[in-house]
Amino acid sequence: MDGKSVVSASGKASFRTRVIKDWKKYKPIYILALLGVAYYIIFCYLPIGGILMAFENYKPTRGLFGSKWVGFKYFIDFFTGAYAWRVIRNTLLINFYDLIFGFPAPIIFALLLNEITSNAFKRTVQTISYLPFFISQVVICGILLDFLSLNGLLNQIITVFGLPKTAFMIFPQYFRSIFVGSGIWQGLGYGAIIYLAALSSVDVQLYDAAVIDGCNRFKRMIHVTLPCIMPTIVIMLILRIGSMMSVGFEKIILLYNPSVYETADVISSFVYRYGLLQGNFSYSTAVGLFNSVVNFALLAITNSISKRVSDISLW
C-alpha cells in the first residue's frame, strides 16, 4: 500500500486516485451527463442489445431473456425463402442506379454553378435547388403520385406528343426510374452544397497558373477544379457505397403498392411489412441485422481501399 502511494505521488497517479480527483473536479458535469447517458443507453444501446432476438424465437410475453434460442434459424429462413433474392436485388438495383445517375448529378450541378459569374443568379438558383429537400417526403410523394396518375400532369403532357396514357405507378418496370429520378430531383441542390463548399476553397492562384500555362476553361475545370474537390468526392463516394445495401423504407412505402412489389419492395420495406405489420419480430430483426452488417462491411471495405489508394478515409 505504502509503495503504491509513493509511486502515485512521485510519478503517474494511480487510476483510482485519478478517478477520485476527476470526480471531485467534474462532479456537477457528471451529474449533468446522467440524462444524456440515460438517453443513449435506453434508446440506442438497449435496441442494439435487442438484436439478440434475431437469434431466438422472440415472444413478447416471455421477453428477451425468456424466449427460446434458435441460433441462425431466421437467417436461414430468410435466405431460403421466396423474398430474399427479390428484396436484395431491388435494394441493390435502386442503389446502383442512384450511384450511376444520382451520385454525379450534384457534382455536375455544383461545377456548372461554379462557372456562373453573377452572384445573384448563382444564389437564386441554389436557393431554389434545395427547396424540395425541406418539403416532407409525404408531400413530395403525394405530388408525385398525382402527377403520375392516369389523368395526371405527365400523362397530359405525353398525350400531346401522341404517346398513350399510362398509369405509371401500376407497372413494375417504371418504379425504379421514378424512385431514383425523383430522388435526384429532391437531392440535387442539397447534395451540391458540400461540393460548392469545397469549390469555394480552391486557391485562385492555381487558376492563374493554369491560365499562364495556356489552359482554357474546360481544361481548367478538368486539371484544377476537379482535383481540388476530389477528396470531397471520394469521401462522399465512400459514404455512398457504404449504404449500397440500404434504401430507406419511408419513400418506398409511400410510393409502392402490391402490384409493383416485384421491383419496389426493398429490405427495409420488407422488414416493416413482415416485422411490424405481421408481427414476425425475430425474423425481420434477423433480416435487418443482416442488412446492417453488410452495410457496415461495405463501408469498412471501401474505406480501407480508399485509404490505401488515395490516403483519404473516414477514420
Indicate which single residue of 5, 137, 177, 259 sits in contact with other proteins (rule: CB under 8 A).
137
Going by the DSSP 8-state scheme, the letter that residue 68 receives in this structure is E
Indicate which single residue of 10, 61, 151, 205 sits in contact with other proteins (rule: CB under 8 A).
151
Q: 254-273: which residues touch other proteins (CB under 8 A)?
A: 254, 268, 271-272
- When asked if residue 301 is in the footprint of other proteins (CB under 8 A), the reply is no
- Cell 402527377 belongs to which residue? 147
Q: 153-192: which residues touch other proteins (CB under 8 A)?
A: 153, 156-157, 159-160, 185, 188-189
- Do residues 64 and 46 lie in contact, with contact meaning Cβ atoms separated by under 8 Å? no
We find the least distance from the C-beta atom of residue 224 to other proteins, in angstroms, to be 11
- Do residues 128 and 111 lie in contact, with contact meaning Cβ atoms separated by under 8 Å? no
Indicate which single residue of 9, 76, 131, 297 sits in contact with other proteins (rule: CB under 8 A).
131
Q: 276-295: which residues touch other proteins (CB under 8 A)?
A: 276, 281, 284-285, 288-289, 292
- Do residues 179 and 255 lie in contact, with contact meaning Cβ atoms separated by under 8 Å? yes
Q: 61-100: which residues touch other proteins (CB under 8 A)?
A: none
How far apart (Å, rounded) are the C-alpha atoms in residues 233 and 227?
Answer: 10
One symbol per residue from 199 to 238: x for binding other proteins (CB under 8 A), - otherwise; what is it?
Answer: -----x--x---x----xx--------------x------
We find the least distance from the C-beta atom of residue 1 to other proteins, in angstroms, to be 23
How far apart (Å, rounded) are the C-alpha atoms in residues 210 and 242?
Answer: 36
Q: Is the dihedral of CA 133, 139, 145, 151 positive or negative?
A: negative
We find the least distance from the C-beta atom of residue 63 to other proteins, in angstroms, to be 9
| Count of residues that interact with other proteins, criterion CB under 8 A | 87
How far apart (Å, rounded) are the C-alpha atoms in residues 132 and 115?
Answer: 23
H or E element: which one contains 294? helix 281-310
